[in-house]
Each structure stands twice: as C-alpha cells, then as structure tokens.
Amino acid sequence: MTEPPQPPNQPPTPSGYGHLPGPPQPGYGYPQQGDNPYAQQPPTQPMQQPVPQSGPQQGYFPPPPGMPTAGMPTAGMYPVGGAPQPPKKKTAVIVAAAVAGVLVLGTGGYFAFLSGDGDPKQPVAQGSTPADAKPSASVDNGDGSGNGSEPTEDLNAGRKQGEDKTLWLKTAKIDGPGLGVDSAGQWIVGGTVVKSVWKNLTAYGIADGKEKWTLAFPTPVCSVTKQTTAEGKTVVMFKDGDGDSATCNQMKQVDLKTGKEGWTKEVPKEGLFDIMTSPSLGITGDTVAVSRSGTASAFKVSTGDKLFGSATAEGCKPDAYVADKGKMIALATCYDDDLTGEVSDADPVTGKKTWTFRLPAKYKVGAVYSLDPLVLDIGNQDKKERAIVVLGPDGKQRATVSGEGSFATECANGLFRSVEICATTAVDAGTLYMPTVAAPGKANEIVAFDLGTGKAKWRTPAGDGRTIVPLSAANGQLIAYRKATSDQGGEVLSIPAAGGTPTALLRNPSGTSAPIESSFFTPVVDYADGRLFVSQSRLLAKGTAEKLLMVFGK
C-alpha cells in the first residue's frame, strides 16, 4: 500500500518499519519477583495494551531491488526486477516483529537469517583472579538520588574460587508517579559514575560508591545520550512541567566532571507539526542533534545556539540526525509518491551534505549500527524485506551483510523515537558484532561479520543457556558481557576480532550477588578501567528500596 505524500512541514505517516508493538501485559516476558527486594524488576515502559501494527513478519528477504548483493547468498534468489518466488531454501534475511516469549519493546526489531545447527558449547575463558578476603559493600537506601544509608550486608558471601568482587550497590527509594520513573542515563567520567534518576543526576565515586555531587532538575529528565564532549559535557532534556501533558522540550548542558549546570534552552519548534515526543539526542564534537517524530535540529553544545534544522533543509526533509564519534548523517524522507527514503552525510556545523544514498522505493532505515564505517539496517514493511548494508565514505554501497541465526538489536526505536546508534551491537574497523536471540532455555551467541564481504567470520556461543551481548569494540578486541543467572555471576569477556578463545577480564561473584545482578531488567551496562557498571533504566518508584546501580571489580 502506497503512503500518500504530505506537505513539507508535516511528518510522514509512521510506516511501521522499525516500530514494534507496545509492552506486553504483566507476566509476559517479565521475570518473576522473588523475596529479595533488590531483585524485583520495574517495567521499562508503562503497562498498556500492545499497539496492533503491520510490522515485519517472518518471511523470505532478498536484498533490496537494484542493490548489489556482495556477500549475499544467491541460492533461491529471484532476478532483480522479477516477481518474487517462494525460496527453495532459506538463505537470506528473515525478520520477526515479535517472537513468542521474547520482549521486543523498545528494540529496533528482530531479524533472522537461518537457524543454526546444534546447541552452542560453553566458551572456555582464560585467566582468573584468586579469591581473597570478602569485603563488605553497603546497600544504599535513598530518597530518589540513590543516596542514603542501610545496614551493610556482605554482597560477596558465597563467592567462589577465581571470582572477582562486587564493589558496591546503590538503591533508590522514590515515591513517584504510578507508571514509574526513568533512570536511563549512565556516564563514566573520570573517577565517577553519573546516574540519572527521575529529576536528579548524581555522581558516585567509582572506588567506594560515595556521592560526589547531585544536580536537581525542576521536572523529570526525559531524554539523555551516553555521548559527551571531549571535556566531559553533555546535554540532558527535561520536561516543561510535571503534569501528564508536559512536553519534553527543555535542554540543559551539564558538566559531568563537576556536576555544574550550564545553559538551559527550549527546543524551538520547526513548523506546526513539530511534536516533541520522545526526542533522541546525539553528540559529536560541539554539536548536539535533537531528533523527534519526523523533525530534527542541531545546536552547539557550548552555547545552546541553533546551528541548523530540518525545516530549512534543501530537497528531502531530514527526519533525524544521527551523530557519533566525529560523524553525522541525515535520515530523510522525500515527498514523492512512495515517500522515498534518503541517507546523506551532514556537516555537524552547517548540516550541508556531500553525498546522498537513495533507498529503494518504500525502504526506510530501521537502525544504525555504526557511522564509521556506516552500517544501516533498512527494510520495506509492505514486502517484508530487510537488509543490512555497508556504505563507504562516499555513500556508495560496499556490501550487504548475511548470515545464519535470529538476531536482536536494542536501538531505542519505539513508536515515536527517532533512530539512534544501537546499544547492543558493536562495530570496529571492518567487523560488525551482533547478538543472536536464542530459543527459550537455550544459549545465544555473538556473530562477527566481515564488513568488506558481508559474510560471517566467527561465532562465540554463551553456553549453558546463558546470554552474551557486545559492549564495545576497539583495538582489535570485542568486549562482551555474559549475563548472570540466579546462581552464577556475570562475566566480562574479551574476544579477538579474528576470533578465538574468549579471555575473562572479570568474573562476577556467585552467592549473594548473583540473584541481584541477574534480576536487572533491560539494564544499562558499561565496562571501563577494569570495572563493570550495571544499572536500572527504569524504576517502579513505589516508595520502597529498589536496586539502582551495581559495580563489580577486582
């Protein structure tokens, strides 16, 4: 079905691609709550009836029409321009908007290639740390910032030989609105970890967990980005009021090293249909991009002054600007009969472009895995087609990624959110790392793809029914997190880009800590300077102590 073109200032009708149903009802996909109050989980979004959508369903996905098929298998493909025929063998990309038993809220979608053969074997990790004296860590019960006091308990009780330590745990005690509060922000800056909780940003000393500073906002924080400037400054958005009708349109610059606030400005509207719903932020250099519901703008981080916006862009209108590590791209819609999608580079200061990549008819960008190199997940909702394409610095397609397995990404692309850099994939130089989705009770794996050929290089299974996800990739190494279970602590693993046996950088303790670590639901996870930081992205805020931030180390 062709979507009608709309006036230049009106956002396009949501195509459904990349937008998944709302959260399941309580009990679906959520872990059961145990006796440990710190193991209880808040939902990531308000409970509501799932939104019916005609999103992608399981099926056969050839590469986009008219696009090169480097790295794509050819068996079962139909000729470009010919009518699609049922494949004789599944060899290309498959997508499922929702998988039974798997929570898909807030993700960029699940796509699959072919089911793998056999059960994965447990990776043999090298390196360990001998157990030593059992330190105690304070469990902190606070007032919304996560700071307070509570009798200490031994978080390392039951720690086994070779396991590392839980350094400290912070909890939050908030009596907030009935639908809970956001706590998505987490930054590791200098010797502190900064965490956002509802109306506060609070910094804790990494070594001991003591509060260093707290910055209070007048209303709830509603949008954050993990990105900062070289000086440790970021931009946080908060609402213009406390009521249900409040809009997320206020920007504030924050120095994360000192906790000092800088300028505060309102995001100016760009036309009548500029709706500030769930804006997304991205920072590169001294530019912060604010994308929301089909409109985008860019501002200077240092002053808050506006640099450019999509309303004044020439040609196709940018729906979002995606920024990261010195790069910026524009994702635009062209108001022709097919509402054709377009990707271009964007100068972070002027917004000007030097190249344009036009998507096939009715294809949209559903996810961005990296800007350097540029790796895009694109798809056609109507035809249930999807592909991952790699573009060169000139905007020309270099390869199409293909492989076997059901893959999941968490790209924060809800019904109204703009496309952002995916949180659970990693890219370094010529390799893309993606986690698979395993069948219930089975282990998943990480698959490394060669971005030059689009083909899978190697696979590392989590083993023992566990789950493993990429955290970051740099200097020829992938850093991954093997998630905890109720009786086994999590692990931080290093895997060479060329593949090989994982090396354990950190083995979190079993015993008292494991049930707490394993009960973090959709956590924010960072590994820096030999320490692992795991925190909640949303809290129930029912006036009782909830776990907020847990830190592990040697």
Per-residue pLDDT of the chain in tens (554 residues, 90 and over written 9): 333 333 333 333 333 333 222 223 333 233 333 445 555 544 444 333 333 333 332 223 345 544 544 333 332 222 222 223 333 333 333 333 222 222 222 233 334 333 333 333 444 444 433 333 333 334 343 344 444 444 368 999 999 999 999 999 999 999 999 899 999 999 999 899 999 999 999 999 999 999 999 999 999 999 999 999 999 999 999 999 998 889 999 999 999 999 999 999 999 998 777 888 789 999 999 999 999 988 999 999 999 999 999 887 777 999 999 999 999 999 999 988 888 999 999 999 999 999 999 999 999 998 999 999 999 999 998 888 889 999 999 999 999 999 888 887 667 555 556 788 998 899 998 999 999 998 888 999 999 999 999 999 999 999 999 999 999 999 999 999 999 999 999 999 999 999 999 999 999 999 999 999 999 999 999 999 999 999 999 999 999 999 999 999 99
Phi first, then psi, for residue 490 (nearest 5°) are -75, 175
DSSP 8-state symbol, 460: E
Instruction: Report how far residue 362's alpha carbon sits from residue 339's, in angstroms, rounded to the nearest whole number.
Output: 7
pLDDT attached to residue 36: 53
Give me the residue label for tokens 């696009």: 67
Q: Hey, which bits of 217-249 come out as E strands?
A: 221-223, 233-238
Question: How big, in percent rounded to 5, are the helix, strand and coil portions of the chain?
Answer: 0, 40, 60
Find all residues with CB under 8 Å of 391, minimum gap 6, and list them.
Answer: 343, 357, 373, 374, 375, 376, 397, 398
DSSP 8-state symbol, 37: G
Token pair recorded at residue 403? 């492989």
Closest CA to 322 of 384, 264, 391, 273: 391
Instruction: Report how far residue 299's alpha carbon sits from residue 116's, in angstroms, rounded to the nearest whole number.
Output: 46
Triad 492, 496, 499: Cα angle to 5°: 110
Helix, strand or coil, per DSSP, at residue 485: strand
Helix, strand or coil, per DSSP, at residue 155: coil
Triad 373, 404, 15: Cα angle to 5°: 65
Edge-to-edge strand list for the sheet holding 280-284: 280-284, 287-292, 295-300, 306-309
Exposed / middle / buried, residue 247 (Cβ in 10 Å: 0-12, 13-18, 19+):
middle
β-bridge partners, 309: 297
Find all residues with CB under 8 Å of 447, minimum gap 6, and list them.
Answer: 403, 405, 407, 433, 434, 435, 436, 456, 458, 459
Type of residue at 440? P
pLDDT attached to residue 412: 58
Closest CA to 261 of 200, 188, 326: 200
pLDDT attached to residue 40: 52
Instruction: Report how far residue 139's alpha carbon sits from residue 277's, in angstroms, rounded to the nearest whole number.
Output: 36
Phi first, then psi, for residue 27 (nearest 5°) are 100, -20
C-alpha distances in angstroms, 307 versus 226, 352, 462? 21, 11, 45
Helix, strand or coil, per DSSP, at residue 480: strand
Instruction: Report how far residue 550's alpha carbon sits from residue 419's, in angstroms, rounded to the nearest whole number.
Output: 29
